[in-house]
């Protein structure tokens, strides 16, 4: 999900300002460190599912190729005997510039096996060509051509995942049967709407895409009110909107309602448990409750990066910095190319030089504006306020880092620009949502404690999730020292 990297970016910068210096390797991992340039060989049970090619004449059918790919990745990820590369790792290998030779792909992804495929729709028929290849030797281990009607696609991803599992491990164990072959729905139209919703949710982080995802999930639910995954997707979309495009009270409340419904239908849904945990953190300011939900999700799937991310947030709120960093690292390890998750991991482990080395790699797989924003965070960490000012701005992600931008302006003593920026931030509250915590930070940087406390109070009233980290946020130190802060702090349930 795209929502998580955005929130974790905020989380990581907060940890970075609060966490003690710890010994780390250049890649952000704990000692002992590997020699530069060395990399362990791929595990014999490692597999990467490359995004299927859309061979249909209608480019709108790309949702089907993408959706099936991601569902196969999810299914294989339920098999603990396999090491499955995340969609973030394989997503960067899309397009004409990506390597095509299996040995090159295997080395890039550090995977022993590759799953490749294509999807072609013609009228009411869908043809899938899929193959499992041993990367190092290019040998095909398994392959199939699947020709079905559009109404008979409900089990195709589980059939493929089961065949891949058997080819790599020798057999599907009884304990793996349910996770591999459970049906999401019996309604083919609901399934199609669900795939369209997931593609919209995982594509662009903007309000139109997220609203589109909600519309597709709503149509899936209208067809099948018992489809737990559609409710979980709806919860994820609302949480992506919250704090960035809609008020936290609306977004997190709607997310909690959807995740509750998903859990009523499937109590093991990791996505629903994680979204429920984040809603508890925001609406109830209950870090321990959020921690319990995230841990419950990880009991069902220990490799789910989204649950690790929510757990890291909850632990940070509780002041358990070392444990929070460990969970942040596990998030990075599970989805090592998950935009700001991975980059932020290097920053929070106080490795700005390593982050700088990897930034060009991220630029190859991210939008230029997003990569520039990460570069601005890096410059702020290094004390390059002029560079940070040039790249950060005050509009990005609902303004969650506008306080840092204001500090950059103050570094050159430009109080006129600071006042103009704050006026713009206030004006942004009129037509849409703008994070009140950003205004509290901006006023705190300016030394205007009265207005800073006023906006911090509004942040608590609106339940922006960032308030749970106020205790460890360096930019909030002037406001925490104000006697009026104590009444706000008592609302935090940890």
Per residue in 318-335, pLDDT (tens digit) is: 988 778 877 877 776 665
pLDDT in tens, 441-492: 999 989 999 999 999 999 999 999 989 989 988 889 999 999 999 999 999 9
Give domain status of residue 221, yes or no. yes
Beta strands in 44-168 (DSSP E): 46-49, 53-54, 83-84, 113-122, 125-134, 139-149
Last residue of a domain, one of 258, 273, 306: 306
For the cut 60, the answer to whether the pLDDT of residue 188 exceeds it is yes
Same domain, 213 and 282: yes
Same domain, 225 and 345: no
The reported pLDDT for the residue numbered 21 is 41
Q: How far apart are CA 363 and CA 376, in angstroms?
A: 13
CATH code where residue 233 lies: 3.40.50.10610
Residues forming beta bridges with residue 140, ordered by sequence position: 133
Q: How far apart are CA 304 and CA 288, in angstroms?
A: 19
For the cut 80, the answer to whether the pLDDT of residue 124 exceeds it is yes
Give domain status of residue 429, yes or no. yes
DSSP class per residue in 274-337: HHHHHHHHHHH--HHHHHHHHHHHHHH-TT-HHHHHHHHHHHHHTT-HHHHHHHHHHHHHHTTT
Give domain status of residue 245, yes or no. yes
Same domain, 243 and 282: yes
Same domain, 52 and 11: no
Same domain, 408 and 481: yes
Give domain status of residue 39, yes or no. no
Give domain status of residue 40, yes or no. no
Same domain, 470 and 345: yes
Share of the chain above pLDDT 90, in %: 46
* Residue bearing tokens 């989204």: 306
Range of the domain at 64: 46-306
Give domain status of residue 35, yes or no. no
Same domain, 273 and 244: yes
The rounded mean pLDDT for the chain is 84
Same domain, 264 and 353: no
Domains in the chain: how many in total? 2
pLDDT in tens, 209-264: 999 999 999 999 999 999 999 999 999 999 999 988 899 999 999 999 999 999 99
Last residue of a domain, one of 254, 272, 306: 306
Same domain, 254 and 344: no
Same domain, 14 and 159: no
Same domain, 243 and 204: yes
Same domain, 74 and 219: yes
Give domain status of residue 453, yes or no. yes
The reported pLDDT for the residue numbered 2 is 41
State pTM to two decimals: 0.82
pLDDT in tens, 425-438: 999 887 778 889 98
């Amino acid at each position: 999900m795209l929502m998580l990297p955005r929130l974790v970016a905020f989380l990581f910068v907060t940890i970075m300002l609060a966490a003690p210096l710890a010994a780390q390797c250049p890649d952000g991992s704990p000692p002992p460190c590997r020699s530069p340039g060395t990399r362990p060989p791929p595990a014999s049970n490692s597999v990467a599912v490359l995004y299927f090619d859309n061979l249909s004449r209608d480019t709108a059918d790309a949702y089907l190729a993408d959706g099936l790919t991601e569902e196969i990745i999810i299914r294989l990820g339920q098999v603990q005997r396999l090491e499955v590369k995340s969609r973030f790792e394989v997503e960067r290998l899309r397009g004409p510039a990506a390597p095509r030779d299996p040995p090159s792909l295997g080395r890039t992804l550090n995977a022993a096996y590759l799953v490749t495929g294509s999807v072609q729709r013609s009228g009411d028929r869908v043809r899938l060509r899929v193959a499992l290849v041993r990367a190092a030797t290019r040998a095909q281990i398994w392959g199939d051509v699947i020709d079905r009607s559009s109404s008979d696609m409900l089990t195709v991803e589980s059939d493929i995942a089961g065949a891949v599992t058997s080819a790599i491990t020798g057999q599907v164990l009884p304990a793996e049967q349910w996770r591999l072959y459970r049906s999401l729905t019996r309604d083919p139209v609901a399934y199609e709407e669900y795939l369209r919703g997931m593609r919209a949710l995982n594509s662009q982080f903007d309000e139109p895409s997220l609203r589109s995802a909600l519309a597709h999930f709503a149509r899936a639910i209208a067809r099948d009110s018992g489809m737990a995954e559609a409710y979980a997707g709806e919860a994820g979309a609302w949480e992506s909107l919250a704090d960035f495009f809609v008020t936290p009270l609306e977004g997190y409340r709607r997310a909690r309602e959807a995740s509750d419904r998903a859990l009523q239908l499937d109590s093991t849904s990791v996505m629903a448990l994680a979204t429920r945990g984040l809603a508890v953190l925001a609406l109830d300011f209950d870090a321990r409750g959020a921690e319990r939900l995230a841990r419950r999700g990880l009991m069902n799937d220990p490799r789910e990066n989204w649950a690790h991310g929510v757990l890291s947030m909850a632990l940070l709120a509780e002041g358990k910095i070392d444990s929070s960093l460990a969970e942040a690292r596990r998030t990075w390890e599970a989805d090592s190319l998950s935009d700001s998750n991975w980059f932020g991991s290097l920053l929070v482990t106080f490795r700005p030089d390593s982050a700088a080395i990897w930034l060009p790699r991220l630029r190859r797989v991210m939008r230029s504006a997003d990569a520039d924003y990460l570069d601005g965070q890096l410059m702020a960490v290094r004390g390059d306020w002029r560079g940070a000012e040039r790249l950060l701005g005050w509009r990005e992600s609902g303004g969650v880092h506008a306080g840092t931008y204001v500090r950059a302006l103050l570094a050159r003593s430009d109080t006129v620009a600071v006042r103009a920026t704050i006026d713009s931030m206030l004006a942004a509250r009129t037509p849409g949502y703008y994070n009140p915590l950003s205004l509290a930070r901006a006023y705190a940087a300016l030394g205007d404690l009265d207005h800073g406390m006023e906006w911090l109070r509004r942040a608590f009233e609106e339940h922006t999730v960032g308030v749970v980290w106020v205790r460890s946020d360096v930019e909030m130190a002037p406001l925490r020292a104000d006697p009026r802060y104590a009444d706000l702090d008592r609302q935090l349930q940890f």
